[in-house]
Amino acid sequence: MKTLRVGIATYEEMKARTLAIARGEYKSPADEPKVWFPSAESFARVLSDRNRALLRMIAESSPGSLAELAERTGRKKSNLSRTLKTMERYGFVQLARGARGALMPRVSYDRISLMLPLSKPGRRGTEAA
């Protein structure tokens, strides 16, 4: 099972983490999140119930185009396009060109795991920078 790890960090926390990595003061562990959101609210907006159902539909049916996905889901193609481009920015889907240039959405993960910190970075020695 392939899992995409997602974390929550403010812009300042991510900047401090990136600088610590660049200075060689911090090395990302293999199990650290690969995708970061600035807040739990922004994560919830992108992965709403409706959008998780969309990801499930893509994973299960491998649609050949956005038009085919729109037909299967009952959503408008323009709405799907915007939603999928947002999800693509976070790595939740990949949009590849298929036959005749049609965009084909694909999901390469079976699961998304959210790391939600309850303390500020640097406390208890578990977080970066």
Task: Give first-to-last CA distance, the chain, whole Å.
Answer: 30
Domain residue spans of the chain: 3-125
User: Is the pLDDT at 126 greater than 90, yes or no?
Assistant: no
**Band of pLDDT at residue 63, cut at 50, 70 and 90:** very high
CA distances from 118 to 8, 14, 32, 55, 101 (A): 10, 16, 16, 28, 45
Query: pLDDT tens across 80-94, in order?
Result: 999 999 999 999 999
**Band of pLDDT at residue 125, cut at 50, 70 and 90:** very low
What's the pTM value of the predicted model, to 2 decimals? 0.79
In this structure, the number of other CB atoms found within 10 A of the CB of residue 110 comes to 10
CATH (residue range 3-125): 1.10.10.10
Q: Which residues contact 117 (CB under 8 A, 6 or more apart)?
A: 7, 8, 9, 127
The rounded mean pLDDT for the chain is 89
In this structure, the number of other CB atoms found within 10 A of the CB of residue 58 comes to 22
Mean pLDDT (whole number) for 31-53: 93
Mean pLDDT (whole number) for 3-25: 93
Residue-level pLDDT at 21: 92
CA distance 59 to 127: 33
User: Is the pLDDT at 79 greater than 70, yes or no?
Assistant: yes
Q: Within the chain, where are the H helices?
A: 11-22, 40-46, 49-61, 66-73, 77-89
